[in-house]
Structure 1
Amino acid sequence: MDTLNGFLNNPAVIKFGTLLLWIILIVFAISFLRKILKKRIADVAIRYKAQKGIEIIGYVLIVILILLFFTVKNLEDYTVIIGLFTAGITFTLQELILSIAGSFYIFFVRVYMPGDRIEINGIKGDVIDIDSIYTTLMEMGEWVSSDNYSGRIVKISNAFVFKGPIKNYSMDFPFVWDELNVLITYESDRELAKKVILDQASNYLAEYTQNSIKKWQEMVERYYIEDSKLDPTLAITLTDNWVAINLRYITDYKRRRATKHELFERIQEAIKNTNGKVNFASTTLQLLKIPEMDVNLNT
């Protein structure tokens, strides 16, 4: 028994046992992380690269531990070096670590889900996939106007959920406010114009308005936000050339462009039916007459 106790208390045995324990922990960590990546990453290529990366890091750690075992005599120095090396690895792979942490944050906090329309890191689009490393978007905008797809697939690191604002168009309130301006002349019947525009907007947007009321009430109850008017509203601005009637309304976030087009069509047709009482305005140009000049030529 004394011999066994002496053997177990031998500094070399303790040091070797510590090394063995670290190696076992690293091997188990590699196996555990590989299983997590296999479940969380659907893309085969990304999953393969991530698993290989974990294996390489683990094996490098084991090799360094073995080298330190034969070069470091003081156990405290050994622990310090391991700590510094781990800190270095963490700093080097901070983007990967943040991306994995971001994926957990996205899923558990429900920042956004596949199918949501978001804007993140200045890129706008519909979420079509979320994995452990990247969020994949079908991009919108850029060289195309309004809310149209550009055709590009964009992959954004999940780490960006910690680095800036995330604009979600559809998570809790799948409606957005939009505006259009109708320009009429000063000679037009302003009250008639307001009535025509408001009637057309109210009739066409009645379904959107009705569907949004319940969602908006849920928003008011859930968040610290004041109640708002959901029916179409008008505001008038006087300019040097025309009267601008601003129509503000609510619509489905996926049909913003189509809704504005249909409203313009309806309003244009309704104004034509006013028989000239309301007229669209255009830029006014005033041409000044050049004064006559009397030139006498003496020969």
Structure 2
Amino acid sequence: MQGYYERLAAALLPMLADRALIRDAIISAVFITVLMICRSLMRRAILRRHDLGPEVRRRWVVYLRNTALGVFFLGMIFIWGHEIQTFAVSLVAIAAAIVLATKEMILCMLGSIYRSSSNAFTVGDRVEIGGIRGQVIDMNIVSTTLMESSHALQHQGTVGRSITVPNSLLLNQPVFNESMLGDYVLQTIHIAITRVDDWLKAELVLLEAGQIIAAEYALDLSRHARELERRYALESPMIEPRVRIFLDRYEEIGLQLQIAVPLGQRAKIEQRVLRMFLQGMEK
């Protein structure tokens, strides 16, 4: 009699295992379908919000995609937990090999955790990672996509191509975020004149050009500086343009204009300053 029950159990176990596998597969298919429908509806609702700016809508679309991906992984782990546990036990012998094979992927995920926990940057920020400069247009758990900035001008004018950077770079490369403190950055414009030129006039013309341009957004810049001072407990940032003089070369006099400019307009404002300087020196 005992042998009969053992044979019956041996015959039923594969059937029960197959039924559990089919059940989990059906639940997974329903879960994925519902998740994709919800993500599609929410994405469409975000894109239809014309009261939000393009940067905000793109940021919310990225957040929605990453959240949906996280929910997908959690759901799969919850549904297939028993099978995953059984499979994991069988992989103990080759765990070290798997870690070595996925080392770069693990580093990318750790870089994503580091980015999120330190709030290093977000979508729309202008950053420099490992010598690559650009505006962040997308990011996920393994990579960050930048719209490359011009290296020839060394400013923030984009050159129309995207660069995908692995998040593992965040663990061993410094990240320079020019948007970390808001909508203005400190721009430095260098001009060199000879020793025989009228450097007093050049200094006055350069400073006047900076003051004329800074006056166009002086009120907004002043409010922004007070907000930074209050939020980050910083000393009042430099608002008024100033000119510094350098004598690094015997045959030249270096003039350096420091001026706060709106983020994304560095190259445009520098060209305006240079043109105003040349016109002022010709008078």
Same fold judged by TM-score > 0.5? yes
The structural deviation recorded for 1:189 is 4.7
Corresponding position: 1:243 with 2:242: no
Corresponding position: 1:124 with 2:133: yes
Is the Cα contact below 8 Å between 1:173 and 1:216 reproduced in 2?
A: no
Corresponding position: 1:213 with 2:233: no
Structure 1 unaligned residues grouped into runs of 5+? 1-19, 67-77, 274-299
**Paired residue for 1:97, among 103, 106, 112?**
106
- Aligned positions of 1:101-250 closer than 5 A: 101-107=110-116, 109-142=118-151, 144-147=152-155, 148-186=157-195, 188-223=197-232, 225-238=234-247, 239-250=249-260
Any idea what SS the aligned residue of 1:271 has?
A: helix
Change (3 A) 1:183 1:108: closer
The structural deviation recorded for 1:232 is 1.0
Partner of 1:3: none
State the percentage of identical aligned residues.
24
**Paired residue for 1:261, among 271, 277, 280?**
271
Change (3 A) 1:165 1:208: farther
Partner of 2:7: none
Q: Distance in 1 between matches of 2:196 and 2:85?
A: 86
RMSD: 4.4
Is the Cα contact below 8 Å between 1:220 and 1:227 reproduced in 2?
A: yes
The structural deviation recorded for 1:262 is 0.5
Q: Which amino acid is 2:166 matched to? A: S
1:101-131 superposed Cα distances (whole Å, 9 cap, x missing partner): 5445545653222221111132111111122
Any idea what SS the aligned residue of 1:146 has?
A: coil
Change (3 A) 1:268 1:133: same
The structural deviation recorded for 1:146 is 2.8
Number of aligned pairs?
A: 227
Partner of 2:282: 272
Runs of 4+ in 1 over 6 A off after TM superposition: 37-41, 61-64
The structural deviation recorded for 1:222 is 4.4
Choose 1 or 2 for highest CA Rg.
Answer: 1
Q: Mean Cα displacement is larger for which, 191-200 or 255-264? A: 191-200
Q: Which amino acid is 1:92 matched to? A: A
The structural deviation recorded for 1:227 is 4.0
1:44-84 superposed Cα distances (whole Å, 9 cap, x missing partner): xxx8xx98xx99xx9xx969968xxxxxxxxxxx97x8555
Q: Distance in 1 between matches of 2:199 and 2:158?
A: 39
Q: Distance in 2 between matches of 1:269 and 1:110?
A: 44
The structural deviation recorded for 1:242 is 3.9
Q: Which amino acid is 1:134 matched to? A: S
Change (3 A) 1:116 1:240: same
Is the Cα contact below 8 Å between 2:238 and 2:260 reproduced in 1?
A: no
Q: Which amino acid is 1:129 matched to? A: D
Is the Cα contact below 8 Å between 1:220 and 1:226 reproduced in 2?
A: yes
Change (3 A) 1:200 1:91: same
The structural deviation recorded for 1:152 is 2.7
Q: Distance in 2 between matches of 1:41 and 1:95?
A: 25
Any idea what SS the aligned residue of 2:147 has?
A: strand
Q: Distance in 2 between matches of 1:233 and 1:180?
A: 11
